[in-house]
């Protein structure tokens, strides 16, 4: 594992969707090393906080030496990061964990609920670059919380919103399986999913009903995290054969058949 | 740093460390998962709490950040002592860094069995008895009853030639009484302190954040409490006290050394600033040099005058 604690420079800050912030940081070694689905631990300087905050790289550009992070402002740590200005230094630890396994020839379907979409710009870009047919299904509460479809060039983007303000009304799962899968339903495709635990559980339920093998589904897990490198054992996720995986080392991207979905908890992220 | 500085520490029974800066149990795994840490700056590693058989640990949530601290209820997830002795210890022999195995259990027999298994295993420099892990059923009682703490200490003492350090819980009425009991029972040193029991509630869902309801509070939030415990202990017992609790900076470590600690352990800070141990080591060295003191024994805490003004 090549892990670096690196001073990186914030070069661009924007609001990609309501409630979220996108930070673009310049750090060529990390931009060159990170794989889609991997994460970094970002140090925060907010009063009375102590832990780093784990964020997946939304995308990276090794040529320009930059990485993007997209996150919601949910607490003191994310608020502190969101308040950084261009030119400020950020302290990154990473890249950490396992990204998605992207190789393959079958159609790829990405499913994102809420902020789970934050990991997908880089994933979709890599899948498209591999020549795969890519469908991006994105769900949010309301239209302004959707990441723009032009962030997924080369993919067929479909959206759903809880209030029906954009795309189909309902959860992102109302878009699944996408029509091209036809009568075969979701078999014969590879799935990449990230979102709230209830959404992932609903996806797994759907997959079981439609006899889609869970080994064809990769999920990017989000759990509270302490160290990010496997020492604190805080980021446990239930393993199918009993015991726990560590999200930071065994994930965050894992195949769904490695997890015990009956024991998956919707964890507290305050 | 000047060559003449001597930062070695003697914790008894032949356990001499080149630095007074250790990493605390549960914050460094078994030494394999934090490659960015400079091991040369460490006096020793204290491992994750190790039990007789492998344990899977508690259900999530296991951790929660709180103001200037964090709660954890990991539940002693570990691979079991046999794995530690067979797989990890042989690697440690090549590290040129003492590894102290933290030992945990539910019963005296379990501690004794773990200590017996580790006795004579190359690569292991000492044992730290976790008589205070607040996260497993009945784990608390050894640490809160002087008689039980002493019984456990002497039972382990009887089956190992390794240095035995007892890690004390602060969740007691009189920590000095526990420390005196384990000193009399043959402990070579004590670590003070383990985490304080605390909790956090998720107001949105109206339930405890941690699956086990309560957990151990660590980090800068507990530093003043830990420091006072060390101050009390250093005056009351003759064996070395290893200070632990929220130490983050060189200044924090110096406070503990001036309070009478022979060494310090860094814990929660390892999660966020793995370079802290090196900085603390260098900061202690710089402080000694600045005052013209050649070694840790020169710190004025050993003079009765400082203590008398407590």
Query: What DSSP element (H or E) covers B263?
Result: strand B263-266
Which member of B34, B77, B220 has the closest CB to residue A233?
B77
- What integer pLDDT is reported at residue A182 of this predicted model? 63
Contacts of A173 (CB under 8 A, 6+ apart): A111, A139, A199, A202, A203, A206
- What integer pLDDT is reported at residue A269 of this predicted model? 59
User: Per-residue pLDDT tens for B42-92?
Assistant: 999 999 999 999 999 999 999 999 999 999 999 999 999 999 999 999 999
Q: Does A74 touch chain B (CB under 8 A)?
A: no
Which member of A4, A233, A242 has the closest CB to residue B62?
A233
Contacts of B291 (CB under 8 A, 6+ apart): none
Which member of A50, A237, A270 has the closest CB to residue B69?
A50
Which member of B58, B63, B211 has the closest CB to residue A226?
B63
Q: Does A146 touch chain B (CB under 8 A)?
A: no
- What integer pLDDT is reported at residue A200 of this predicted model? 96
Q: Tell me what the mean pLDDT of segment B200-226 comes to.
A: 96
Query: In terms of residues, how long is chain A?
Result: 270
Say how many C-beta atoms besides its own lie within 10 A of residue B295's C-beta.
Answer: 13
DSSP secondary structure code for residue B241 in this structure: E
Q: Does A202 touch chain B (CB under 8 A)?
A: no
Question: Is the predicted ipTM greater than 0.95, yes or no?
Answer: no
Q: Tell me what the mean pLDDT of segment A202-209 comes to.
A: 94
Q: Which residues of B touch A1 (CB under 8 A)?
A: 35
Contacts of A179 (CB under 8 A, 6+ apart): none
Q: Which residues of B touch A237 (CB under 8 A)?
A: 60
Average pLDDT, chain A: 93
User: Per-residue pLDDT tens for A105-120?
Assistant: 999 999 999 999 999 9
CA distance B147 to chain A (A): 32
Q: In chain B, which residue's Cα lies nearest the Cα of A247? A: B60
Question: Could you please report the per-residue DSSP string of A177-188?
Answer: S-GGGGGGTTTT
User: Per-residue pLDDT tens for B182-199?
Assistant: 999 999 999 999 999 999
Q: Tell me what the mean pLDDT of segment B280-294 comes to.
A: 95
**A265 or B23: whose pLDDT is higher?**
B23
Q: Do B59 and A265 touch (CB under 8 A)?
A: yes
- What integer pLDDT is reported at residue A64 of this predicted model? 97
3-class secondary-structure state, position A6: strand
Question: Could you please report the per-residue DSSP string of A14-45?
Answer: E-SSTTEEEEEEE-HHHHHH--TT-EEEEP--
Is the pLDDT confidence value at B168 over 80? yes
Query: What DSSP element (H or E) covers A201?
Result: helix A197-209
Q: Do B202 and A268 touch (CB under 8 A)?
A: yes
Comparing CA positions, the residue from A15, A27, A196, A20 lying closest to residue A95 is: A27
d(CA A149, CA A157): 6
Share of chain A above pLDDT 90, in %: 89
Q: Does A73 touch chain B (CB under 8 A)?
A: no
Query: In terms of residues, how long is chain B?
Result: 310
Q: Do B74 and A3 touch (CB under 8 A)?
A: no
d(CA B90, CA A162): 57
d(CA B222, CA B220): 5
d(CA B171, CA B217): 11
Q: Does A230 touch chain B (CB under 8 A)?
A: yes
Domain ranges of chain B: 9-58+77-197+217-308
B9-58+77-197+217-308 fold: TIM Barrel (3.20.20)
Q: Tell me what the mean pLDDT of segment B8-15 comes to.
A: 94
User: Per-residue pLDDT tens for A225-254?
Assistant: 999 999 999 999 999 999 999 999 999 999
User: Per-residue pLDDT tens for A26-76?
Assistant: 999 999 999 999 999 999 999 999 999 999 999 999 999 999 999 999 999
Q: Does A244 touch chain B (CB under 8 A)?
A: yes
User: Per-residue pLDDT tens for B113-151?
Assistant: 999 999 999 999 999 999 975 555 555 578 888 999 999
| Cross-strand partners of A48 | none
d(CA B8, CA B16): 7
Candidates B61, B69, B200, B204: best to mutate against A (most CBs of A within 10 A) is: B61
DSSP secondary structure code for residue B122 in this structure: T
Comparing CA positions, the residue from A154, A79, A81 lying closest to residue A121 is: A154
User: Per-residue pLDDT tens for B244-271?
Assistant: 999 999 999 999 999 999 999 999 999 9
Q: Which residues of B touch A263 (CB under 8 A)?
A: 59
Asked if B31 and B95 touch (Cβ cutoff 8 Å), the reply is yes
Which band of pLDDT confidence, cut at 50, 70 and 90, is reported for residue B180? Answer: very high
Strands B21-23 vs B263-266: parallel, antiparallel or unpaired: parallel
Asked if B85 and B48 touch (Cβ cutoff 8 Å), the reply is no
Residue recorded with tokens 């930071």: A248
Asked if B167 and B25 touch (Cβ cutoff 8 Å), the reply is yes
Q: Do A237 and B60 touch (CB under 8 A)?
A: yes
CA distance B195 to chain A (A): 14
Share of chain A above pLDDT 70, in %: 94
- What integer pLDDT is reported at residue B300 of this predicted model? 79
d(CA A240, CA A262): 9
Burial class for B84, CB neighbours closer than 10 Å (0-12, 13-18, 19+): buried
Say how many C-beta atoms besides its own lie within 10 A of residue B302's C-beta.
Answer: 12
Q: Does A137 touch chain B (CB under 8 A)?
A: no
Answer positive or negative: Cα dihedral of B50, B68, B63, B33. Answer: negative
Query: What DSSP element (H or E) covers A217?
Result: strand A217-220
User: Per-residue pLDDT tens for A163-198?
Assistant: 999 999 999 999 998 877 765 556 789 999 999 999
CA dihedral B89, B45, B62, A194 (to 10 degrees): -80
Q: Does A32 touch chain B (CB under 8 A)?
A: no
Comparing CA positions, the residue from B212, B232, B248 lying closest to residue B307 is: B232
3-class secondary-structure state, position B2: coil
Q: Does A232 touch chain B (CB under 8 A)?
A: yes
Is the pLDDT confidence value at B3 over 80? no
Q: In the sheet where A156-161 sits, what is the strand order?
A: A168-169, A156-161, A134-140, A108-113, A190-194, A217-220, A253-255
Which member of B68, B72, B275 has the closest CB to residue A50?
B68
User: Which domains does chain A show, CATH number per domain?
Assistant: 4-96 (2.40.30.10), 108-258 (3.40.50.80)
Which band of pLDDT confidence, cut at 50, 70 and 90, is reported for residue B274? Answer: confident
Q: Which residues of B touch A196 (CB under 8 A)?
A: none
Question: So which residues of B are the catalytic ones?
Answer: 133
Tell me the angle at which helices B175-184 and B223-236 cross, rounded to the nearest 10 degrees: 50
Asked if B63 and A226 touch (Cβ cutoff 8 Å), the reply is yes
Q: Do A226 and B70 touch (CB under 8 A)?
A: yes
Strands B263-266 vs B241-244: parallel, antiparallel or unpaired: parallel
- What integer pLDDT is reported at residue B39 of this predicted model? 81
């Amino acid at each position: 594992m090549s892990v670096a604690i690196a001073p990186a420079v914030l070069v661009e800050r924007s609001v990609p969707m309501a409630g979220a912030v996108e930070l673009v940081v310049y750090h060529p070694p990390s931009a060159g090393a990170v794989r889609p689905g991997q994460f970094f631990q970002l140090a925060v300087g907010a009063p009375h906080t102590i832990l780093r905050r784990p964020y997946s790289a939304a995308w990276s550009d090794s040529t320009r030496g930059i990485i993007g992070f997209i996150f919601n402002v949910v607490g003191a740590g994310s608020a502190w990061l969101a308040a950084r200005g261009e030119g400020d230094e950020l302290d990154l630890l990473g890249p950490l964990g396992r990204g998605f396994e992207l190789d393959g020839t079958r159609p790829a379907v990405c499913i994102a609920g809420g902020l789970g979409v934050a990991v997908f710009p880089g994933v979709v870009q890599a899948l498209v670059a591999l020549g795969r047919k890519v469908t991006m299904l994105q769900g949010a509460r309301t239209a302004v919380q959707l990441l723009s479809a032009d962030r997924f060039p080369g993919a067929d983007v479909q959206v759903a919103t809880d209030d029906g303000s954009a795309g189909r009304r309902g959860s992102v799962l109302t878009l699944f399986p996408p029509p091209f899968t036809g009568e075969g339903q979701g078999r014969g495709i590879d799935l990449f999913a990230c979102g709230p635990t209830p959404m992932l559980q609903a996806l797994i339920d759907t997959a079981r009903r439609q006899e889609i093998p869970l080994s064809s589904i990769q999920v990017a897990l989000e759990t509270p995290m302490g160290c990010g490198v496997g020492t604190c054992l805080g980021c446990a996720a239930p393993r199918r054969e009993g015991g726990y995986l560590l999200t930071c080392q065994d994930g965050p991207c894992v195949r769904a058949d490695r997890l015990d979905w009956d024991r998956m908890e919707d964890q507290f992220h305050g | 740093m000047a060559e003449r500085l001597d930062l070695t520490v003697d914790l008894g029974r032949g356990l001499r460390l080149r630095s007074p800066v250790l990493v605390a149990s549960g914050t460094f795994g078994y030494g394999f998962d934090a490659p960015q840490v400079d091991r040369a700056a460490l006096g020793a590693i204290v491992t994750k709490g190790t039990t007789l058989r492998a344990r899977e640990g508690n259900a999530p949530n296991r951790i929660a950040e709180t103001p200037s601290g964090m709660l954890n209820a990991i539940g002693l997830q570990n691979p079991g002592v046999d794995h530690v002795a067979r797989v990890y210890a042989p690697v440690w022999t090549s590290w040129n860094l003492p590894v102290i195995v933290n030992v945990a259990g539910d019963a005296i027999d379990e501690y004794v069995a773990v200590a017996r298994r580790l006795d004579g295993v190359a690569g292991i420099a000492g044992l730290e008895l976790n008589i205070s892990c607040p996260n497993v059923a009945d784990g608390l009682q050894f640490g809160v009853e002087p008689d039980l703490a002493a019984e456990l200490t002497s039972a382990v003492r009887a089956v190992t030639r390794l240095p035995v350090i007892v890690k004390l819980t602060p969740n007691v009425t009189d920590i000095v009484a526990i420390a005196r009991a384990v000193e009399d029972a043959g402990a070579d040193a004590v670590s003070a302190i383990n985490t304080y029991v605390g909790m956090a509630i998720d107001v949105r869902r109206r339930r405890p954040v941690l699956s086990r309801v309560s957990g151990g509070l660590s980090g800068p939030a507990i530093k003043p409490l830990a420091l006072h415990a060390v101050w009390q202990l250093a005056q009351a017992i003759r064996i070395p006290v290893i200070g632990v609790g929220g130490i983050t900076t060189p200044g924090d470590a110096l406070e503990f050394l001036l309070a009478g600690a022979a060494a310090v352990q860094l814990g929660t800070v390892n999660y966020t600033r793995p370079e802290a141990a090196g900085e603390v080591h260098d900061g202690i060295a710089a402080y000694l040099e600045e005052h013209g003191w050649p070694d840790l024994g020169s710190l004025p805490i050993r003079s009765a005058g400082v203590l008398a003004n407590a």
